[in-house]
Chains A and B, each alone.
Chain A
Amino acid sequence: MAAVHVPAVLEPILPFVRKSQGKKPNACFDSYAQLVVFAAALGFHELDGDPPPKNPHRTSQIEPVAWEYLQGDRQQTVIQLIGLVAGGGTEIVNDHDSLCRVIEDLAAVGGKQLVKTLKDGGDASFHLELGELLINAAKESKASAVTI
């Protein structure tokens, strides 16, 4: 069964998942799946679509996120788009295991950015900083069809 292993670099961000023990009051993510996909999207953005380096470090704090937990509409859009663009065709998207590896490698890249954001802004304003990252990404992109 395919599963995404959560990169160890995301450990400082785990308290921002609502189901985690010792969760922060401004926890943003409903599940570890939501966090991993968010981090992967950010990592993909960071690398500008380039292939991510292999991430050997996986956290032992939580179980890997099974493929069946990554079936949300938006999550699948992100995963399929990444798989399609990263593979330049259907090679990756057609293989769940490969797709999971790409997602976790990208999540490791995005995770570094998230940890930096957390360190710079502090726990209390982490959600605001993430909001800013999203707003900026939306504003910067020329591909945005609708004016914000």
Chain B
Amino acid sequence: MLIRKITIKNFLTLYGEQTIHLPAAAGQSTAVILGPNNSGKSSFVKALQFLLHQRLPGCKEETAWLLINNRHRDETGVKTEAVASVTAILTFGDSEMEVRRSIRSRRTGTGEESFSDAAISFARLQTTATGSRFVEDDGTVQRRLDILCPDTLLEAFFFSGEPLDGKLLRGVNQVRESLEEYLSIRQWRDAAEAARELRAVYAREMQQLAQKNRELDTVLRDEAQLQHQIDEKRKAKVKAESSMSEQQEALDQRQSAILGIANQTQMRTDVEERGRLELQLKQHEQSLEAAKGEICEEVGRSAGYPFLLPFVGRARKILGQLHKDGILPAELAPDFVKRVLGMEACICGEKHTTKTRAAWHKYLDKALADDVSTKLKTLESRVNESAPNCLQRNVTEIAKLLIDARERAEAAVVGKHMLDGTIEAISERIRQSPIEELRRLEMERKKLAATVENTKDAITTLTKELNNLDLAKKRKKEERAKMKISPDVERRVKELERFQTTADSLAELIDNSIGALRRQFHKNLQEAMTDMYDEHVTDGTMATILTTLLPTIMQGGRRVMNLGGGQSQLLGLAYITSIARLRNALHAGMKGLGIRLGVVGEQAFVLDCPFSGMEQHYIEAAVKGLCSAAKQTVFLLHGSQWLAAKRLLEPAANMAWGMHLHAPKAVIAKLKPEDRTYFFRGENVILATESRASGEAVYSELKPLKGA
């Protein structure tokens, strides 16, 4: 939406009827309006806001008379009306319309505040064969303006000087909602929903037809069920694709930030040192664990050997006695003795006598079982100090191993403790450094990469499921085609089916297109921001669009957390011109898809002192960017901003106007020289004049500058 002509009559500080024509033709894009402080530049912006959305603080009917110019109010006689209005010719592509918003208030007395409640009206110029006249708007024009320039973005397009943080960037949700509105995405959704509803209507009619034929009824019900499932899966897929797009973007951001930080080697030494120490710490921990494990193992394996040492002597003595008693070594097993006693003859061949039997019985009493004998022999070797595997040696080995493991464990604990302190100190240093940020980003990147992969898998699964459902639906249709139904019903069913298919395709097309356009929107926005910001700023910073669609600035791969006034302002300017430029491209895309939302055309920007708080190089970047990116930009500048932007803006301006301030001597005296006299294309222009009569109200007039 461009502004070809604007007429402001008795509005705020602008006295009388002020008309200016703005550059809206091909090859023309820039206008400057110069004027001292308090000359009415802000009134100009407010006039536009009032015209488009009646959006001014004092715009209630009971106080709206305050918007009428003071001087005009003073001149209004009792019982006559004071009138203020803003009229503009707005163009959208090839079409245009003229609209006017007026305030009328009757003077009821002689005092300053003797004005009645104002009447505010909004009208559109209608041309008929008999002539042209303004006709009260029935809401149609206002709705169109709301779409062309949403209320929430109004301050972005027609704004007054302060940084944009508090306006455009004030809230992620608000910006996103505004943009969705601006791009008409909500209307798309409505269209998709309407298409689905239409299909449901057709489905219901088919159902009614089918009631006469039970078989058909079943098939149709199955088809409806399948269709419902397809709809659900399709929605889920669109959602997953949109979500993946955002995840991928977040992933790219992390990747880019990581690359930026990775090049900063300041803390690399610390990280390497910490890595080395952590390795040592790990070795200590492993050593400690190993030592503890060895102790555990040895304790169990020891069988309590060391506890037996005091009894080794006694065991040896007992074993010695057993030898003396002939019990050891046990040469004959008790079973053998029993067998000998059971026989008639002794082993010598002679018959058993009482004496031999007594001797064998005595032996049997002391004889050891086979296994006991073997075990005692083993025990003998264990208690024999000179034997290589004796218990004493074993105990010594056990004790040495335990002592060694204990010492290693103690050393590891001491080493670990010392390293813990050093590592903590280095970690603290690293925490203060970008490397820690790098680590955090890397972790986030890994998580996001996993999420993206999962979402990809989910999309693949959904696609497969959708294909299967489509196939199932196709089979049902084939089944239905084979049924015998009356020709009338068959004809109507086919007709309804065709309608359904059309509605279904439209819904699908819109679902897919919203997702695709959202992704395209982000991509294009980034490209436009790069053109507008990166190309014109020389401080090494770069503009980046976040997943939330908010712009931010990156420096050396890191996000700049505290934007300077200049950066913020330039970023905002770049952003709003980018989205406006992009909108046309998107709407062209919609048109290509067969969705018509009306012509939107280019977007005008009216910027009141936009260079507040900006350094010279940012100002020049903003001027270059705006003049090349925007189709129509109106700069309203006071003296010092004009001086700062003059070098680039003077040759670029296609039209130039001066806002001539008439004020008492005291007011004029306070103005700086550069705010009174402007130098434009070789001419000195004085834009501040003392009032002729004392007590005359302050007012301004717009006049074209010589040389423009």
B400 is contacted by which of A34, A84, A148 (Cβ under 8 Å)? A148
B399–A135 touching, CB < 8 Å: yes
> Is B315 interfacial (CB 8 A cutoff)?
yes
Choose one: A72, A110, A127, A139; the contact of B296 (CB below 8 Å): A127
Count residues of A near B (Cβ-Cβ below 8 Å): 53
Residue of A nearest to B384 (CB): A145
Given contacts A89-B321, A134-B398, A145-B393, contact A74 B307 (CB under 8 A): no
Question: How long is the Cα–Cα vector from A130 to B305 in the complex, in angstroms?
Answer: 13
Residue on A nearest B391 in the bound complex, by CB: A77
Chain B residues with Cβ below 8 Å from A94 are 368-369, 372
Stretch among B45-53, B268-276, B373-381 lining the A interface = B373-381
Q: Are A135 and B402 in contact (CB under 8 A)?
A: yes
Given contacts A84-B319, A134-B399, are A144 and B309 in contact (CB under 8 A)? yes
Give the shortest distance, in Å, between A88 (CB) and chain B (any CB): 7
Chain A nearest Cβ from B333, distance in angstroms: 12
**Contact yes or no, B375 A76, CB < 8 A:** yes
A27/B296 in contact, CB under 8 A: yes
Most chain B CB neighbours (cut-off 10 Å) among A89, A131, A142: A131
Minimum C-beta distance from B316 to chain A (A) = 10
Q: Which of A73, A89, A94 has the most CB atoms of chain B within a 10 A radius of its CB?
A: A94
Residues on A with beta carbons closer than 8 Å to the beta carbon of B306? 134-135, 137-138, 141
Q: Distance in Å from the Cβ of B203 to the closest Cβ of chain A? A: 61
Say yes or no: A143 contacts B313, CB within 8 Å: yes
Q: Which residues in window 70-116 of A have CB below 8 A to B? A: 72-78, 80-82, 84-85, 88-90, 93-94, 110
With both beta carbons as reference points, the residue of chain B lying nearest to A49 in the complex is identified as B311
Expressed in whole angstroms, the Cα–Cα distance for A141 and B300 within the complex equals: 20
- Determine whether the beta carbon of A127 is less than 8 Å from that of B308: no
Which residues of chain B are within 8 angstroms of A42 by Cβ–Cβ distance? Answer: 304, 307
Chain A: CB-nearest residue to B319: A84
Nearest B-chain residue to A74, judged by Cβ: B303
The docked-state distance in angstroms from the alpha carbon of A93 to that of B395 is 23
CB distance from A126 to the nearest CB of B (A): 9
For B312, list chain A residues within 8 Å (CB).
81, 143
Across the interface, which residues of A come within 8 angstroms of B327, CB to CB?
90
- Interface status of B502 (Cβ within 8 A of chain A): no
**What B residues does A146 contact at CB under 8 A?**
392-393, 396
Task: Give a binary string over B596-627; 1 marks a CB under 8 Å from any A CB, 0 the rest.
Answer: 00000000000000000000000000000000
Contact: B396 with A138, CB < 8 Å? yes
Residues of B within 8 A of A81 (CB): 308, 311-312, 315, 379, 382-383, 391
Q: Which residues of A contact B307 (CB under 8 A)?
A: 41-42, 44-45, 134, 137
Closest beta carbon of chain A to B197's beta carbon, Å: 62
Q: Which among A44, A93, A147 has the highest number of chain B CB atoms within 10 Å?
A: A93
Contacts of A28 in B (CB 8 A): 295-297, 299-300
Contact A88 B382 (CB under 8 A): no
Interface size class of B (residues with CB under 8 A): 35 or more
Determine how close the nearest CB of chain A comes to the CB of B140; give it in whole angstroms: 79
Interface presence of B57 (CB below 8 A) = no
Closest to A18 in B: B300
- With A90-B368, A138-B399, A143-B310 in contact, is A131–B303 under 8 Å at CB? no
- The reply to whether the CB of A40 lies closer than 8 angstroms to some CB of chain B is yes
- A29–B391 alpha-carbon span in the complex (Å): 20
Q: How far is the CB of A46 from chain B (nearest CB, A)?
A: 8
Nearest CB on A from B292, distance (A)? 6
User: In this assembly, does B405 line the interface, its C-beta being within 8 Å of a C-beta of chain A?
Assistant: yes
- Once the chains are docked, how many angstroms separate the CA of A93 from the CA of B46? 113
26 A-B pairs (CB sep. < 8 Å): A28-B299, A38-B303, A38-B304, A42-B304, A45-B307, A45-B310, A74-B303, A78-B304, A80-B372, A80-B375, A81-B382, A84-B315, A84-B318, A85-B314, A90-B366, A90-B368, A90-B372, A94-B372, A131-B405, A134-B305, A134-B399, A135-B403, A141-B309, A143-B312, A146-B392, A148-B400
Q: Which residues of A contact B (CB under 8 A)?
A: 26-30, 34-35, 37-42, 44-45, 48-49, 72-78, 80-82, 84-85, 88-90, 93-94, 110, 127-128, 130-132, 134-135, 137-139, 141-148
Given A73-B378, A144-B309, 20 more A-B residue pairs with CB atoms under 8 Å apart are A26-B296, A37-B303, A37-B304, A38-B300, A42-B304, A49-B310, A74-B301, A76-B378, A78-B305, A131-B299, A132-B406, A134-B299, A134-B399, A135-B399, A135-B403, A135-B406, A138-B395, A138-B399, A141-B306, A143-B392
**Interface residues in chain B, defined as those with a beta carbon under 8 Å from any beta carbon in chain A:** 292, 295-315, 318-319, 321-322, 327, 366, 368-369, 372, 375-376, 378-379, 382-383, 385, 390-396, 398-400, 402-403, 405-406, 409
